[in-house]
Amino acid sequence: MKSHIESLLEQTLESFKQQGIVPADFQARIQVDRTKDKSHGDLATNLAMMLTKIAKKNPRELAQLIIDNLPASSHVAKVEIAGPGFINFFIDDNALANQLQQAFNDDHLGVTLPAKQTIVVDYSSPNLAKEMHVGHLRSTIIGDSVVRALEFLGHNVIRQNHVGDWGTQFGMLLAYMEELRAANGEQAKMELSDLESFYRAAKVRFDESTEFATRARQLVVALQSGDEYCNKLWREFNDISLSHCHDVYQRLGVSLTRADVHGESAYNADLAQVVKDLDAQGLLSESNGAKVVFQEEYRTKEGEPLPVIIQKADGGYLYATSDLAAMRYRSNVLKADRAMYFVDLRQALHFQQVFSLAKLAKFVRPEMSLEHTGFGTMNGEDGRPFKTRSGGVVKLVDLLDEANVRALDLVRSKNPDMDEATLTEIARVVGISAVKYADLSKNRTSDYIFSFEQMLSFEGNTAPYLLYAYTRVAGIFKRAEDIDLSQAKIVLEHEKEKDLGTKLAQFGEVLTRMTDKGLPHVLCGYLYELASEFSSFYEACPVLAADTEAQKQSRLLLSQLTANTLKTGLSLLGIETLERM
Ligand code: ARG
């Protein structure tokens, strides 16, 4: 409905251009918003106020002119001018009912699909030398949810798990793996399954033994020059490390597969060319033997230049170098229209610098959009970065285990008589969803406090609340299984039916907003409001005990559409629904 009104206004603006009311080359971003207060209609625009300067007319006069030129539409029941020159649109209830009826029979729930784009989404991307910890949680689940929504909207989405699988630390890890193999044979594989302690132990050896450190350096050099033995060792190491990541993805219900892994090492062969090309364009400078690029706009607070380092004095390449190569690949090989990077906000400067450099050096097509969709930090209850009691990093698996235990307690307390197998399955879903939803429902860019108590509450904008709301809506049909709905028609009479219908019709707008900026909390907020809207409807409007058969059928359709929207919405957040809990 919102896009329908937008298109009516666009047509009006076109006719204004033809009539010379505004210049023919005038560009405006037409804004249509949902009204807060129903007495102001359903949608409103400030277009008249936007045009006053250019059209040299007062806003109320312009508002009337817009209304006079507005193409006729059966969706609009009434238009009004309000305040200084807002135009309020009242949506026709029959048109809304028809729209919902159509949504009911559509795979996409009536959502209008946008022009198809190829979109690269860079997410999760852990460093393989380390176990996945809570810091990777946000990138993984926020990215995955945006990926799902983009695919739902029909885009060609290319997942890229840009894992950190290259760099000097690998020498140390390989040397340690080699040492363990020599002592214990294949046993070493097992040891690697706990990557965190493996890394720490390797570091201890590196610091305590100069022989070990020398071997580690030899191995890096050999690895980088393509030595077969080193590469085999390295592949084995990555394989074990990646299989650990994929266990976590599977447990989290994240859609990344091995085929999506395209890490730093994938660009090794392109790095020398990146340096050559920057050099050929006169962009490279020397700084203490390193090759760097200075861009005027990047300076410290004190005004010191902040270069991007492309190649170290010893010939080694850096994080930025592989990102430049990756951008070139994403633009020229994958032909992305858009690339989104779900990476910690603390890397904001890195992305600003490499994005502007990639454009400057023409490594990406000028029309390609590069977006660092960064996120804030997940903090503990003390407001400091999340740590274990002893101050260590919290492993993702441990966090999920605890969520599971707590969810089991919760579900058991609500269902003392439920059998163990059902309890376990429900607790698995509730535990994982609680962790995911708590994160997804916070604004991506803010820091947030991780709290089991809050995320497992049945009150407020939480996973248990929504999962429970879904079981309640779905439950209505269990009692209505024998009702034939094939001829049912949605009719919006009661105020609460209209409110619910209006909310349901907003699903498409919400997905557009969510995917435009990569903000899953927009979808979470919507689903929460939808569930609350359904509760008020259900309280005010008896469904199975409705006055007439037609009314009962219409309300059943509304309930069914609510259930479908909740289920689809949750699935786009990567959250499973339950039939009971
Ligand atoms: N491996 C990096 C880290 O753990 C994140 C990589 C993000 N993606 C990228 N193209 N730089 O910090």
- Residue 404 Cα to ligand 1 midpoint, Å, equals 29
**What value does the mean pLDDT of the chain take?**
92
Residue nearest to atom 5 of ligand 1 (CA): 125
Question: Is 90 exceeded by the pLDDT of residue 512?
Answer: yes
Q: Is the CB of 125 under 6 A from ligand 1?
A: yes
54: domain CATH number is 3.30.1360.70
Neighbours of 31 (CB within 10 A): 12
What is the model's pLDDT at position 482? 85
Residues 247 and 270 in one domain: no
Neighbours of 29 (CB within 10 A): 7
Each residue of 392-430: pLDDT tens digit?
Answer: 777 788 889 999 999 999 999 999 999 999 999 999 999
Residues 76 and 13 in one domain: yes
Q: Is the CB of 165 under 6 A from ligand 1?
A: no
Question: Is 70 exceeded by the pLDDT of residue 255?
Answer: yes
The arithmetic mean of pLDDT across residues 373-385, rounded, is 88
Label residue 37 by pLDDT band (50, 70, 90). confident
Each residue of 438-465: pLDDT tens digit?
Answer: 999 999 999 999 999 999 999 999 999 9
Residues 501 and 547 in one domain: yes
Asked whether residue 129 is assigned to any structural domain, the reply reads no
Asked whether residue 151 is assigned to any structural domain, the reply reads no
Comparing CA positions, the residue from 530, 529, 510 lying closest to residue 520 is 510
What is the model's pLDDT at position 27? 85
Residues 474 and 536 in one domain: yes
The top-scoring range by mean pLDDT among 117-131, 187-201, 479-493, 515-529 is 515-529
Cα 56 to chain center, whole Å?
Answer: 43
Domain end point (choices 91, 122, 156) = 91
What is the model's pLDDT at position 189? 65
Residues 365 and 350 in one domain: yes
Domain end point (choices 419, 436, 455) = 455
Question: Is 90 exceeded by the pLDDT of residue 182?
Answer: no
What is the model's pLDDT at position 190? 61
415: left (phi over 0), alpha (psi -120 to 50) or beta: beta
Q: Is the CB of 264 under 6 A from ligand 1?
A: no
Q: What is the ipTM of this complex?
A: 0.99
Share of the chain above pLDDT 70, in %: 99
Question: Is 70 exceeded by the pLDDT of residue 1?
Answer: yes
Tokens for 272?
A: 């020398």
**Number of compact structural domains in the chain:** 5
Each residue of 316-375: pLDDT tens digit?
Answer: 899 999 999 999 999 999 999 999 999 999 999 999 999 999 999 999 999 999 999 999
Label residue 187 by pLDDT band (50, 70, 90). low
- Residue 416 Cα to ligand 1 midpoint, Å, equals 45
What is the model's pLDDT at position 543? 94
The top-scoring range by mean pLDDT among 58-67, 153-162, 184-193, 388-397 is 153-162
Residues 434 and 502 in one domain: no
Residues 299 and 317 in one domain: yes
What is the model's pLDDT at position 39? 86
Residues 476 and 566 in one domain: yes
What is the model's pLDDT at position 495? 86
State how far the alpha carbon of 442 is from the alpha carbons of 149, 205, 254, 378, in Å.
17, 41, 19, 10
Asked whether residue 152 is assigned to any structural domain, the reply reads no
The arithmetic mean of pLDDT across residues 151-159, rounded, is 98
Comparing CA positions, the residue from 440, 546, 451 lying closest to residue 493 is 546
Q: What is the 3-state secondary structure of 279-345?
A: HHCCCEEEECCEEEECCCCCECCCCCECCEEEECCCCCECHHHHHHHHHHHHHHCCCCCEEEECCEH
- Residue 161 Cα to ligand 1 midpoint, Å, equals 9
Residues 304 and 355 in one domain: yes
Cα–Cα distance measured from residue 132 to residue 422, given in angstroms and rounded to the nearest whole number = 30
Residues 273 and 213 in one domain: no
Q: Is the CB of 65 under 6 A from ligand 1?
A: no
- Residue 139 Cα to ligand 1 midpoint, Å, equals 10
Cα–Cα distance measured from residue 280 to residue 127, given in angstroms and rounded to the nearest whole number = 32
Label residue 71 by pLDDT band (50, 70, 90). confident
Asked whether residue 380 is assigned to any structural domain, the reply reads no
Residue nearest to atom 4 of ligand 1 (CA): 126
Closest atom, ligand 1, to C-alpha of 350: 11
Q: Which of 137, 140, 162 to mutate to test the pocket of ligand 1 (most atoms within 8 A of CB)?
A: 162
Residues 315 and 347 in one domain: yes
- String of b and e for 455-492 (b: at least 16 CB within 10 Å)? bbbeeebbbbbbbbbbbebbebeeebeeeeeeebebbb
Cα–Cα distance measured from residue 303 to residue 489, given in angstroms and rounded to the nearest whole number = 67
Q: Is the CB of 164 under 6 A from ligand 1?
A: yes
Domain end point (choices 51, 70, 91) = 91
- Report how many helices (DSSP H) and strands (DSSP E) the chain contains, helices first: 21, 13
Residue 483's DSSP bridge partners are none
Q: Which domain holds residue 31?
A: 2-91
Residues 320 and 334 in one domain: yes
